[in-house]
Chains A and B, each alone.
Chain A
Amino acid sequence: MDSNDTILGAIDPEITERLVSRRDAIRQGASMSTKVAAGLAMASVPIALAAMTKDAFAQAPASVTDVLNFALALEIFENEFYKAVLGTSSSAAQNTAFAPVRAQVPAAALPVFQQIQKHETQHVAFLLANGATNSLNLTADSFDFSGNRGSGVPGSFARATTELQFLLAVAQGAEDTGVRAYKGQAGNLLASGNRAVLEAALRIHSVEARHASKIRRLRRANGAPGVVKYSGTISGGGAAAAGAGNITPAPDATVVAAFNAIYGGEDVTMQGSVSITGLPNLPAGFDALAASEAFDEPLTKAQVIAIVQPFFKPTLA
């Protein structure tokens, strides 16, 4: 192997010479080991996986349209949030509100927000083109990013408009909520039988995870504590996983409660009946935090609505 080449990057998407050189593979495939053959013959569900949590599917089955509409509302929320931060909202009031924090965004972070916002706009367009309806008629003015549903009194999240560290923590929470929301809806899309929409949803889901990872890295490089992992993963659960220790004064009880909901249950170390910390061959120092990082957890639609409703003026259902 040429050490100057990436081991994967330069491969023609078609099968090219590699298939030619796979004759050993072909030959050996024709005489697969009996152990493998025995394993393949066993189509029943392994006992360990039969106990996989069903919490995410305790919710009532939803139609594809319901899932798409729910996803659209979340994407519009994220899109309008980033547009307000960037000063590109169609609402002058939203742009004005975020002007103080906008002035604090480092030049290096600007293209990050722009790239994320671009994707949220693309997601909105994709969902609208594939069956979603903006039934709540959401616009830039449908949101109260201070978290008080437009009551006229600024909510506890108003600090995101004036404090960079607070803004970044909120952005991280919004992205992670998106990741958890899509994960929680995968079962509904599977049940619907619409595998094309399922694949698209999975592909949006992983983009949201990339966003959340990058925001963590921005925060860590700007003084956030070690629980905000450079690997971009969610370490532990509840408010502690938000890593808000670099925010002074400390977030109030309303914000802490929101972080508790956003990261609630992310600290599980059991997957099905398997204890992740009890597995063999783990590296030295592998602990419950590492186990929590290795698996992301879903949220139900009701859990997601409870988190985001304070930022929506219309009532979500």
Chain B
Amino acid sequence: MSEGDGNIVVSRAEDLWRVATRRNFLKVLGLGGTIVLMPSVFAACDDGTDGVTNPGGGSAALNLSNDIGILNYAFALEQLEAAFYTAVVASAAFGGMTAEQKEVMMDLRAHEVAHREFLRAALGSAAIGDLALNSANVATAVSSTAIILKNAEAFEDLGVSAYNGAGKYIQDANYLLLAGKIVSVEARHAAAIRDLREGLSLAGTPAGTRFAGDDVVNPQGLDVKTEPAGVLTRVGATQLVTTAISIATPPTVTAATADAPPPPTP
């Protein structure tokens, strides 16, 4: 591995296993540098016996240097959320939910499917394809009320975090407004789900505060935000999606974006 001028050249597959490389990988992506994977890396890849299956899942490589790529990034996230809530409403566990929980799940399904279908229609021929899902893992993710709500909370907070992190990379004011129209709905969802979970007597946040808890709103009063590379890492970690979503070209970072306020803690 070599580095210089914000670029990383990875020549051996083993380099990807090293913590230092992984850290720099993220740093360089955040700075708008380039990751070059030498052909030797691909030659060294085996068929993978490490838990990640990708049978016919295909791939989607995002060019985040333009608005179409950012919107496709949003489209990918909305596909995942819509698929999750569709599975929730169809699950056996859904039947055992309270009336309030059912209303929330039905609403969230409707809103997320609308986001997905809107972005698909708006992007037209520039839209990435449908993400392929791991049906067994999706089934596990909706296997009880507690698991559903836990996953829903994670999805909604991730959605808020993703839009908050990507908005500054959008170049057209109309697209920025569109992202703004969606992200506040995601934040409403996140607060509702978090509030429902508080009703389950969860420990962790003081009573009455989980809707906008100190775990998601930092001491400056700023909500969560995550850069695209971090979001896609979390999406991959869900193991719900078999399509490999990657960043072909990172967002265009200017001096102004580089000094964005620090991320919230934790």
| Residues of B close to A108: CB separation below 8 A | 207-208
CB <8 Å contact, B168 and A195: yes
| B-contact bits for A199-215, CB 8 A (1 contact / 0 none) | 11011111111111110
Q: What is the interface of chain B, defined by CB distance below 8 A to chain A?
A: 13, 16-17, 19, 22-23, 25-26, 37, 41-42, 45-46, 48, 50-52, 54, 58-63, 66-69, 71-72, 86, 89, 100, 103-104, 106-111, 113-118, 121-129, 137, 140-141, 143, 147, 150-151, 153-155, 158, 160, 163-165, 167-178, 180-192, 195, 206-209, 211-213, 217, 219-225, 230, 233-234, 236-240, 244-246, 248, 254, 256-257, 259-261
Known: A21-B52, A206-B164. 12 other contacts (CB 8 A): A119-B217, A183-B180, A190-B171, A195-B254, A199-B260, A202-B164, A230-B192, A231-B104, A233-B107, A233-B188, A281-B117, A298-B181
Interface of B is mostly: helix
Which residues from 266 to 290 on chain A have a C-beta closer than 8 Å to any C-beta of chain B?
271-272, 274, 276, 279-283, 285-286, 290
CB <8 Å contact, A43 and B207: no
CB <8 Å contact, A22 and B244: yes
In the complex, A119→B212 CA distance in Å?
Answer: 9
Q: A27-B45, A196-B256 are in contact. Are A294 and B147 (CB under 8 A)?
A: no
In the complex, A126→B16 CA distance in Å?
Answer: 39
| Residues of B close to A205: CB separation below 8 A | 180, 183-184, 187
Does A306 have its Cβ within 8 Å of any Cβ on chain B? no
Does A40 have its Cβ within 8 Å of any Cβ on chain B? yes
Which of these, A11, A122, A194, A209, contacts B233 with CB under 8 Å?
A11
CB <8 Å contact, B22 and A33: no
- CB nearest to A33 among chain B residues: B58
| Residues of A close to B208: CB separation below 8 A | 108-112, 114-115
CB <8 Å contact, B129 and A35: yes
Q: A183-B180, A200-B261 are in contact. Are A7 and B63 (CB under 8 A)?
A: no
CB <8 Å contact, A25 and B221: no
Q: A3-B140, A214-B211, A274-B118 are in contact. Are A27 and B68 (CB under 8 A)?
A: no
CB <8 Å contact, A207 and B217: yes
Does A193 have its Cβ within 8 Å of any Cβ on chain B? yes
| Residues of A close to B127: CB separation below 8 A | 39
CB <8 Å contact, B72 and A39: yes
In the complex, A200→B192 CA distance in Å?
Answer: 23
CB <8 Å contact, B126 and A39: yes
| B-contact bits for A13-38, CB 8 A (1 contact / 0 none) | 11110111111111111111101111
| Residues of B close to A42: CB separation below 8 A | 68, 125-126
CB <8 Å contact, B59 and A36: yes
Interface size on A, residues (CB 8 A): 114
CB <8 Å contact, B37 and A271: no
| Residues of B close to A203: CB separation below 8 A | 164, 222-225, 261
CB <8 Å contact, A126 and B115: no
* Nearest 7 pairs of A and B residues by beta carbon: A122-B221, A111-B208, A8-B154, A25-B244, A209-B187, A232-B188, A52-B174
- CB nearest to B151 among chain A residues: A7
Does A317 have its Cβ within 8 Å of any Cβ on chain B? no
CB <8 Å contact, B225 and A199: yes
Which of these, A6, A229, A295, contacts B107 with CB under 8 Å?
A229
A14 to chain B, nearest CB (A): 6
- CB nearest to B261 among chain A residues: A200
Q: A8-B158, A9-B150 are in contact. Are A183 and B107 (CB under 8 A)?
A: no
In the complex, A7→B13 CA distance in Å?
Answer: 27
Does A302 have its Cβ within 8 Å of any Cβ on chain B? no
| Residues of B close to A187: CB separation below 8 A | 173, 176-177
Which of these, A22, A56, A293, contacts B185 with CB under 8 Å?
A293
Does A49 have its Cβ within 8 Å of any Cβ on chain B? yes
| Residues of A close to B115: CB separation below 8 A | 294
15 A-B contact pairs sorted by A residue (CB < 8 Å): A7-B239, A8-B155, A8-B234, A19-B16, A20-B17, A26-B41, A33-B58, A49-B175, A50-B174, A57-B177, A111-B209, A112-B209, A196-B260, A202-B168, A217-B211
B171 to chain A, nearest CB (A): 8
Which of these, B22, B71, B167, contacts A16 with CB under 8 Å?
B22
| Residues of B close to A207: CB separation below 8 A | 187, 212, 217, 221-223
CB <8 Å contact, B16 and A23: yes
Q: A36-B129, A196-B256, A196-B261 are in contact. Are A1 and B212 (CB under 8 A)?
A: no
| Residues of A close to B154: CB separation below 8 A | 6-9
In the complex, A25→B185 CA distance in Å?
Answer: 31
Does A198 have its Cβ within 8 Å of any Cβ on chain B? yes
A178 to chain B, nearest CB (A): 10
Does A46 have its Cβ within 8 Å of any Cβ on chain B? yes
CB <8 Å contact, B25 and A15: yes
CB <8 Å contact, B59 and A33: yes
| Residues of B close to A52: CB separation below 8 A | 174-175, 177-178
Does A144 have its Cβ within 8 Å of any Cβ on chain B? no
CB <8 Å contact, A279 and B117: yes
Does A141 have its Cβ within 8 Å of any Cβ on chain B? no
In the complex, A311→B213 CA distance in Å?
Answer: 29
- Counting chain B CB atoms within 10 Å of each CB, the highest count among A19, A232, A285 belongs to A232
Does A72 have its Cβ within 8 Å of any Cβ on chain B? no
- CB nearest to A180 among chain B residues: B184
